[in-house]
Structure 1
Amino acid sequence: MKEISVQELKEKLDNGEDFQLVDVREDFEYETSNLGGTLIPLGGILIETDKIAKDKPVVIMCRSGKRSAAAVMQLEAQGFSNLYNLQGGILAWKAAIDPTINVY
């Protein structure tokens, strides 16, 4: 499984790179704080694969990196090869990039 650090994600965002960010947390978690990604809760990830780009890099994120890793494994089993797991999730983002973001 390919992974990306929060620092690498911030560089991609700052540089305006063409990639998709997918957040696999639940609605209430996304409402608390998010990085602007497409919300597809883990439970529905295989039902909503049509929302996930196949022609550019896709970064999958969650709270700590565990659910996103599970999502990457499920999607790779469906043939996706352009996925990156965000190491440490939004907790790592808060710790390293934006200490003002709300997490629970």
Structure 2
Amino acid sequence: MIDQVSPRDLPRWLQAAADVGTPLLLDVREPAEWAAASVRPDGTELLQLPMHLVPARLHELDPDRPVAVLCHHGGRSMQVAMFLAQHGFDRLANVAGGIDAWSLQVDPTVPRY
């Protein structure tokens, strides 16, 4: 199952997920997007990996680890979360609304683009 988690509620999801290991925030945007705006919530490890590289680097990800997936608005991250679910990942969250919602709900200093 893929949880739909707003940026505002992500800390609660991360805390609950931490019982099985340090959660991974998988940012699947492109490098130019990371340069424009980025976040790193407390209690997570951040991995910036463009969506198109996820299949080739799937072996680098631990299916037993909780993974929250982030993009600009939530569409790409949901596609990646569904791909991960098809490959045995079962502790997944899609950050609904993406980094744009993060700026609106959590931290207005995160630039919107």
TM-score greater than 0.5 by the shorter chain: yes
Runs of 5+ consecutive residues of structure 1 not aligned to the other structure? none
CA apart distance, 1:28: 0.5
**Number of aligned residue pairs:** 103
Deviation at 1:11, TM superposition (A): 4.4
Q: Give the match's secondary structure for 2:77.
A: helix
Cα distance in 1 between the residues matched to 2:31 and 2:81: 19
Q: Deviations over 1:64-100 (max 9, x none)?
A: 0000001011111122112110010001100011111
1:30 to 1:43, Cα distance in 2 relative to 1, 3 A:
same
In structure 1, the residue corresponding to 2:94 is in which secondary structure?
Answer: strand
- Counterpart position of 1:32: 36
**Residue 72, structure 1, aligned to residue 81, structure 2:** yes
Structure 1 pair 70–7 and aligned structure 2 pair: CA distance change class (3 A)? same
Runs of 4+ in 1 over 2 A off after TM superposition: 10-14, 50-56
> Which structure shows the bigger proportion of residues in helix conformation?
2
% identical aligned pairs: 31
**RMSD, aligned CA:** 2.0
d(CA) in 2 for partners of 1:12, 1:80 = 16
TM-score of the aligned structures, taking structure 2 as reference length: 0.80
What's the CA shift for 1:103? 2.2
